[in-house]
Every structure is written in structure tokens, then in C-alpha cells.
Structure 1
Amino acid sequence: MKVLITGGAGFISSHIADLLIENNYDVCVIDNLSHGKIRNLDPKAKFYNVDIREKEVFDIFEKEKPDVVVHNAAQISVSNSVENPLEDASINIIGTINILEASRQFGVKKIIYPASAAIFGEPEYLPIDEKHPLNMISPYGVSKHTVEHYLGVYKKSYNIDYVVLRYSNVYGPRQDSSGEGGVVSIFCEKLINGQAPFIYGDGEQIRDFVYVKDVAEANLMAIEKNKSGIYNVCTNSKTTINNLFGYIRDLIGKDISPVYVKEREGDIKNSYMTYDKIGNEIGWRPEYAIHSGLKETLEYYLDNI
């Protein structure tokens, strides 16, 4: 089976590519390298340096004729979406429609799409399930959720199956510390270099950290199972930012304290999710506890900093 991964040189998607190749899938990647890195790519993956909004996408689909598309390419910065909502919509909505049209024209059977917890806003209840009310507070949240509607329409109109995977806070090797969601990579890099990282607010914010290899496994199972729908990918566990910092500091073994600064406007206080639906319907459950995932992540940064 052939799988085309958009944004396939990125943090999460490169792990998906690795796992698919390990399982004997034929993998090709489209990425304009605005965030992705060539070094993340397995040399067995065929690579196209193309923006998802370009007409060349149709040429690639015609040549490769993928069975499945894992559509990871996106504008992923909340702050950038606020500053430039037109660019956010151009990439996340128009770019996605380009991929969907190429998929329709060249016989793609299924699309896997990573959504975002940004669509929930401040949670009305915890843990968050797939039926939780949506309250987007940024253009990024709106653009990511809009794609979910397009996927539903393309299934009804053109019979293209889809699975939407709503991730909690993904962490692991290859994560970019310059990103808004990369708190694990930021803590690792700062502590390895003997520097004190910032913690915004009091550090008692609760998050649900899911390891990238578990996320890759969820994508593999979503491809292989005969299911369409929306699923949370998470751990249903509660980790405060203070606890996270303590875990990483203990693993590194450096006596460094964080610097507490004013909380960021718009930050959600507490958020964690339940994976009951994907567990029951697809059979996925997270295998990595926070400590084992952090240990592997730290080993990567120790080798690459």
C-alpha cells in the first residue's frame, strides 16, 4: 500500500513515516521545508519539495497514485494565525482543499488528518471527549476545525474515508524547541545547556502529554482499521508544568530552578483528554508513560545538542 504524507519532514509526521516504512508501506512525502527538516526523513521515503497549495501537487498524485494520504502539512502557530489569519487560512484551508481535490481526482481511498485541541478553548468539563463543545478562540483553531467539515463532505460526496485524530500535547525526539507547543523540548535543551527555562504563571497548569511514537501508532492503526470518524489521541493523564520540569531535571541531574514569569494571555489553565472512543473502536491505547517517553526524548537531545 502506498501512503503519501504531507508535511512529512516534520516532527510528528516523520515518526509516522518511519513506522509505516518499518511496516512495509511505500511512503512518499510532500513538504516545502518551511518547518520540516530533511534530516528527519528516512531515505526510503520518496521526497517532493512542494507547497501543498501549488498545482504541482496534482502531478505528484497522478504519478504516485497513493492509496492513503496522511495530511499533516499545516500552519501550526496560534500567534501567527492571529497576526496573519489570511496566511493561516491559505495554508490550512485552501491548501487542504488542494490536497482533497487531488485525492478525489486520483482515487485516494482514505485521509488521516491531525486536528488540534485548540478547537476546544477553555474546557467546560474534564476529561475532554469527542463530544465536547467547541469554542475556537484563534484563527488557527477555526482553520483546523474547518477541515473536519470538509472531510465529512468529501466522504458523503466522493466516498473518501477519513479519520480525524485530535492530539493532546505531543512530545518526543525531533520536536522543535522554537514552537509554541514544544515545552518538553524547551526544558530539555535549556537544562542540558545549564540554563533556567521560563515557566509562565504558577506552573500548576495541567496538560496531557502524549509521546510521539504512540501518536505514530495511532496513525498506523487508523490507516489499517475500517473506520471513519473523529478520535482523541491522548493519555487521559494529568501532568502539571511544574511536575514536567521536575521529571526532566531529575533525569538530567542538574540542580537548576525555573524562572517564573507572568502567565500568557489566553493560555488555558487545565486540559486533558480521554481516549475511550479510539480505544473501543480502533484498539489504540498509549504505551508510553510520561517517564519512559521523557527518557527516550532526553536521550535524543543529549545526542543532538
Structure 2
Amino acid sequence: MNILVTGGTGFIGRWVVKRLIEDNHNVWILDNLSNSSMDNIKEFQVNYPKIFFIKGSITNLPLLETLFTNKFDICYHLAASINVQDSIDNPKTTFENDVIGTFNLLEQCRHSNTKFVYMSTCMVYSRALDEEGISENHSTCPTSPYAAAKLAGEQLALSFYYAYGLPVTILRPFNTYGPYQKQNSEGGVISIFINKKLMNKPLKVYGSGKQTRDFLYVTDCANFVVAAGYSSRTEGKVLNAGSGSDISITDLAKMIAGEDGSIKYIPHIHPQSEIKKLLCNSKLAEKTLCWKPEVSLAEGITKTEEFLKNKLLLEGI
């Protein structure tokens, strides 16, 4: 197939692209590189002739019109402004990228009848109320402009499904981590903690550390995203993906730091947007896609630490 991945040089996008080229598709990547690097896809460009990179923005309509002459079968839309604090400081930029940019892509997909797979976020939810976890029917409560923009993008996409019959799928993965995640991104707590440990620095925990997260290893996330695009059973649906287990940030810090590690508690940078308990219920994804996560948290942390160790060695740190 001909497949477009927006945000394809980003953390999750890079792994989605990897899966798609392993399946021998023609893959176009659209990314403005504002929050990513060409280094993430360098190995693919060297070894795989069916990958095409375009530097540009989803807010650039003439560029999108030219790009969509390639007649894509699927558009995996991962490009977004993803930083919560940035969205609080400058909501206009987040709105323009995550809402208007999404609308621009939907219009192109509508005219070319391209399946649209929209990467949303677990941040649209309110806190988990029990150990059953958060299902797709759980109440939403966007506590930041980022979450609100993602929720608006979801509703726009679903409106194109109902109004025009455009094949649309909405994905809400929980806290994804693993190799190639940036160590200065507020959402990448595992990579940040591991990097601090390797640099012999204290692991900084925001707030009390009692807040919990459900961590999903990036290859499991990428398999979920790609499978959702392949299947017609996902059309018109919202699907969660997570491990089904949550852990407090304090316990996570202790797990990574080990007995000799140092943990430091600091004031939260945006406590008003903190979700106290995130625990995923992925039963619908399991039923619809026969998908289940394969990498445990302990195994994923080990893989991520090995990657970051090698990265530091290459950088001579």
C-alpha cells in the first residue's frame, strides 16, 4: 500500500514506520522536525528504497494537496504539539497544529477516500475510578489545551466518518515509553529517570509521586497502531491500548534508581492538569484486533536502559 505517516520521525512515529516498511509498504513521512530528528529514521533511509521524507507542516495546505496526489491507502496521523505545559503557555499553537492541522488532513483524506487513523491520547480521560481501569466509555475531562485539542480532533474525525463515510479510527494509547524517546519531554518519565540514573543524578518526582500511570512499551504501541489501520473492524471506533497495570511514579522511580539511587521530590509544574490515576482497560482492542502487549514493564525498562547506555557511549558522555 501507499501509506502516509505524519510525525513519522517522532518517537512513536519512528516505530510505526519501522513496522510498515517491514510489511513492505511504500511509506511517506511528513514531519516539520520541530520535536524530532532525522537520526530516528536514518537506518531506514539507507536500507529501504520505498521510504520518502517530506519536511513540512500539516498546516501547509498547498503542500498537503501536492502530497495527496500519491493516492494514499492509509494516513496514520501522529503529528501534533504534545507538550502539556507548552499548551498551557501557548494554547494557540497547540490549537493550530492539533485541530486545524487535523482538519486539513481530514479534508485531503475525504477527497481521496484515504483511511484516517488518528493518534489521540489517554490524557483526554478523567482519573480511573477502580481497578477495572479506563475503558473507551469512561468520562472525558480535558484538563489542558493539549487534551482539549486532541479531543476536538477526535470529534472532527468521527464527524467525517458519520457525515461522509470516511473510514476513521481513533486511538488512545496510554503512557508509551522506550528507545528513541526524548529525555527532556515531560511525558517521557521512564526515559528521563533512566537518563538521570545513568548520569548519576537524582531522579526528580513531581508532586507527591502517588499519581499512577499505565506504561506501554513502544513496539507494543506501534503494533497496535499499525494493526488498527489494517483492519476494517476498527472503523468508526475509539480504541484504548495499555498494559492493564498501573504503577505510582514513586514506585517507578525506586524501580529504576535501585537501592543506591537518589530520588528528589519537587513542586509540580502544572498540578491542575495532573490525572491522579491512569489505568487502561484494553479489552476492546483485544477483541477487535486480537492485540495484547507483549513486553513487561521490567523488560521494557531494561531495553530502554540498554539503548540509552549505548547512546551515551556514542556521544562520549
Structure 2 residue aligned with 1:274 = 281
**Are positions 1:240 and 2:253 aligned together?**
no
TM-aligned CA deviation for residue 35 of structure 1: 0.6
**8 Å contact from structure 2 (residues 221, 241) kept in 1:** yes
2:228 aligned with 1:219, yes or no?
A: no
2:303 maps to 1:300: no
> 2: CA distance between counterparts of 1:12 and 1:142?
21
Q: Which residue of 2 aligns with 1:28?
A: 28
- Please give the secondary structure, in 1, of the residue aligned with 2:135: coil
Please point out which of 248, 255, 260 is paired with 2:260: 255
Equivalent residues, number: 300
How far residue 290 of structure 1 moved from its aligned partner, in angstroms, is 0.2
The CA RMSD over aligned residues, in Å, is 1.4
In structure 1, how many angstroms separate the alpha carbons of the residues matched to 2:282 and 2:228?
14
Structure 2 CA distance for partners of 1:133 and 1:125, relative to 1, 3 Å: farther
- Code of the residue aligned with 1:235 in structure 2: it is S
- Which secondary structure does the structure 2 equivalent of 1:149 belong to? helix
TM-score under structure 1 length normalisation: 0.94
Match of 2:315 in 1: none
Q: SS state of the match for residue 210, structure 1?
A: strand
Encode CA deviations 1:200-223: one digit per residue, 9 max, x unaligned: 233232110000000000012112
- Residue type matched to 1:294 in 2? I
Q: CA deviation at 1:257?
A: 1.3
Match of 1:175 among 168, 176, 181: 181
- Give the Cα–Cα distance (whole angstroms) in 1 for the partners of residues 20 and 283 of structure 2: 24
**Map of 1:7 onto structure 2:** 7
**For the residues of structure 1 that align with 2:143 and 2:199, how far apart are their CA atoms?**
35
Q: Distance in 2 between matches of 1:263 and 1:94?
A: 30
TM-score (norm 2): 0.91
The answer for unaligned runs of 5 or more in structure 2 is: 313-317
- Secondary structure at the aligned position of 2:190 is classed as helix
Q: Which moved more, 1:262-271 or 1:195-204?
A: 262-271
| Offset at residue 125 of structure 1 (A) | 4.6
Q: Which runs of 5+ in 1 are unaligned?
A: none
Tell me the equivalent position of 1:104.
Answer: 110
Q: Compare 148-157 and 290-299 and name the one that shifted more.
A: 148-157
Say which SS state the counterpart of residue 104 (structure 2) adopts.
Answer: helix
The more displaced of 215-224 and 157-166 is 157-166
Q: What is the distance in 1 between the residues matched to 2:301 and 2:165? A: 40
CA distance in 1, matches of 2:17, 2:145: 29
Moved more, 287-296 or 113-122: 113-122
Letter in structure 2 aligned against 1:195: K
